[in-house]
Amino acid sequence: MGNLETDAAAPFEQSYATTNGNGKPANPAMEEEEDHETLMQRKFSAPAYTEIKTRKNAAKVSSAHRLKNIANGGYHPAKQLHLNGHAKTAVSDREFKSSQADGVLSPEQEHYQKSSFEEVPLHTACLTYLGFYLLMILGYINQLLFVPKVAKEKGRDGYVALYDAFESFYSRYVYRRIRDCWNRPICSVPGDELTLKDRVTNDYGWSFKFTGTQTRCLNLGSYNYLGFASSTGTCADNSEATARQLGLAYCSSRSELGETQLLADLERQTARYFGVEDAIVFGMGFATNALNLPSLLSPGCLVVSDEKNHASIILGLRLSGATIKVFKHNNMRDLDRVLRQAVVYGNPKAGGKPWKKIMIIVEGVFSMEGSIVRLPEVIALKKKYKAYLYLDEAHSVGAMGPNGGGVTDYFRADAKDVDILMGTFTKSFGSAGGYIAGSKKLIDFLRANSHAHCYASSISPPIAQQIYTSMRIIMGEDGTDIGRQKINQLARNARYFRKRLAQIGVITYGHEDSPVVPMLVYLFSKIGAVVRTLTTRHIAVVGAGFPATPIMEGRIRFCLSAAHTKEQLDYALDVIDEISDDFGLKYSRKPKDLNPIEY
């Protein structure tokens, strides 16, 4: 992680000093106009960039405003010279509402009060479908006329296609056209800012060339909720020391030679973090779901799963062979209906005998929707129907609750009411891996039976150390209140960002306390245009479209972090305001709160 930064420093300083996104040198006196022109041409010369037009007058006003802002010492990613990754903590702590459910209204009412959701406008829905069909038609014409520029297998006559035909068609003729907006290589730590390695395509996304330049961007795309992704600081130093002391890998599973004191400590710490009896850790979050669910479930069991659950959960459920019933996203009435039917009618395959067990699987924060599970109601239903509850806290652990304890902390629920607490260390802890926490009996069972425990090699020591250190910081066991500050900063950032977006008039989904903020743009072209324009303005964001979302709900997903400062968010919001005017993203028809939003 760390050495990349120093490698990149020399050429990158030259390159980012010359661009401030607006096509104007950051400091005209210093830079040769020519150099700058050629650089911009190399970077953003593709038609995809030059075709983007803005409302002229609006652009003039705002760029003047921005230049003034920069001159006044306002924030701009291309200007700042500090290394990224430093968590900057909140300025003042006046009367602050922490990330916690109010508990004044009933859970249901509070959920509706705090969630933002708007139906897609009818004409947008029609246009989205029309556009999708046009893309399909053009794709087929294109495929008919030209040989796709992809590798061909030879000597395979008579074999059926190994890959799904529609999938490869889709990725070649829809996704490929805006492929430059995804999987962008970076060459720094993904902290509050990151450095993008610029690349250009001259053939509409079939191939890319590196330009040799770099762009310093404000990072609104990483799951770095608490800002622990950093190449400096206590976490990095401890991890380095551990790597020197224990090496990089044990090359063996934990039931053989891969067991260490560090991992045992980590498990105990994790159990303490959630206030449960025991915990078990794994080297990969995805595998934690995919490989542990089959050891808990078998054919004859019923799983009631939220429709927006993550791919790892779905894979695990399919592997287990259990019967899967899906309920509508975060819809308690539907969950109740599914559970009631399951209890009343039993297993039809076994002639109506009761199911072996019924398990409800939900996530804490849904990463595509930005919504928070309605935990108090789920727990009530679980108790009513005597079902088990599996809660995936991948995105909520650390990011939710006044102590960073996840959604159980947020709703002040008893962690013991959740039978299986699963989560990952990949997001808030700035590391990698996953855990399952719960009763001692459950964890002992998993230690004996889980494929992820018996067959996977154990977590690499520096990675485990990063988790351990960051967890101790969050819990305040390092003797500072940095963890507390980070949690509060994130809560504040999330609320501020959402409120400002609502004021701008774009449609966002999800709960007001969730750090994942999806902004609906609906169309593929708009995803592409927004991501590209934001890149020229030095903001890195992630777009998501079909098949990751329904066709009609293409979106830009902002992930907030405790490492972001108000100035950074203000800069991003100003740019978003401007481009959502230019691109027509202000779909929302809700009344707007015109008062200035307090940070």
Partner 1 sequence: MLDNIIDFASYWWFRYLMVTELYMVEKWERVTIHVIFLTLFCIFWYFNYSVLLSFTGNLFGFVPDVLPGVKQGQGIKVT
Ligand X SMILES: Cc1ncc(COP(=O)(O)O)c(C=O)c1O
Return residues touching partner 1 (CB under 8 A): 47-48, 51-56, 127, 130-132, 134-135, 137-138, 141-142, 177-178, 204, 523-526, 528-529, 583-584
Report d(CA 341, CA 69) in Å as an integer.
60
Which letter does DSSP use for residue 592 in this model?
P
Smallest separation, CB 485 to ligand X (Å): 25
3-class SS letters over 456-518: CECCCHHHHHHHHHHHHHHHCCCCCCHHHHHHHHHHHHHHHHHHHHHHHCCCECEECCCCEEE
56 binds, among partner 1, ligand X, none (CB under 5 to 8 A by kind): partner 1
In the bound state with ligand X, the residue whose beta carbon lies nearer, of 426 and 493, is 426
Is-contact 218 20, C-beta < 8 A? Answer: no
Per CB under 6 A, 115 contacts ligand X: no
Per CB under 6 A, 392 contacts ligand X: yes
Per CB under 6 A, 434 contacts ligand X: yes
Smallest separation, CB 178 to partner 1 (Å): 5
251 binds, among ligand X, partner 1, none (CB under 5 to 8 A by kind): none
Report d(CA 152, CA 137) in Å as an integer.
23
Smallest separation, CB 432 to ligand X (Å): 6
Report d(CA 442, CA 296) in Å as an integer.
9
Count the site residues for ligand X by CB under 6 A. Answer: 14
Which letter does DSSP use for residue 87 in this model?
P
Question: One symbol per residue from 299 to 338: x for binding ligand X (CB under 6 A), - otherwise; what is it?
Answer: -----------x-x--------------------------
Per CB under 6 A, 363 contacts ligand X: yes
Per CB under 6 A, 388 contacts ligand X: no
Q: Segment near ligand X (CB under 6 A), from 227-235, 272-280, 282-290, 532-540?
A: 282-290
Angstrom distances, CA of residue 406 to CA of 276, 414, 421, 500 = 13, 12, 10, 25
Q: Segment near ligand X (CB under 6 A), from 169-177, 196-204, 253-261, 388-396?
A: 388-396
310 binds, among ligand X, partner 1, none (CB under 5 to 8 A by kind): ligand X
Angstrom distances, CA of residue 494 to CA of 113, 220, 517, 563 = 16, 12, 8, 12
Per CB under 6 A, 526 contacts ligand X: no
85 binds, among ligand X, partner 1, none (CB under 5 to 8 A by kind): none
Which letter does DSSP use for residue 93 in this model?
-
Is-contact 27 555, C-beta < 8 A? Answer: no
Report d(CA 404, CA 393) in Å as an integer.
11
424 binds, among partner 1, ligand X, none (CB under 5 to 8 A by kind): ligand X
154 binds, among partner 1, ligand X, none (CB under 5 to 8 A by kind): none
Sole binder of ligand X in the list 273, 286, 468, 558 (CB under 6 A): 286
Smallest separation, CB 555 to ligand X (Å): 16
DSSP, collapsed to helix, strand or coil, labels residue 109 as helix
DSSP, collapsed to helix, strand or coil, labels residue 442 as helix
Residue 422 is encoded by which pair of tokens?
Answer: 């699963």
Smallest separation, CB 405 to ligand X (Å): 17
User: At which residue do the structure tokens 């990072």 appear?
Assistant: 219
Residues 6+ apart with CB under 8 A from 554: 128, 520, 521, 522, 523, 524, 526, 527, 543, 544, 545, 546
In the bound state with partner 1, the residue whose beta carbon lies nearer, of 126 and 264, is 126
Q: Segment near ligand X (CB under 6 A), from 173-181, 267-275, 281-289, 375-383?
A: 281-289
Smallest separation, CB 281 to partner 1 (Å): 43
* Amino acid symbol at 225: Y
User: Which parts of this chain interact with ligand X (CB under 6 A)?
Assistant: 284-286, 289, 310, 312, 363, 367, 392, 394-395, 424, 426, 434
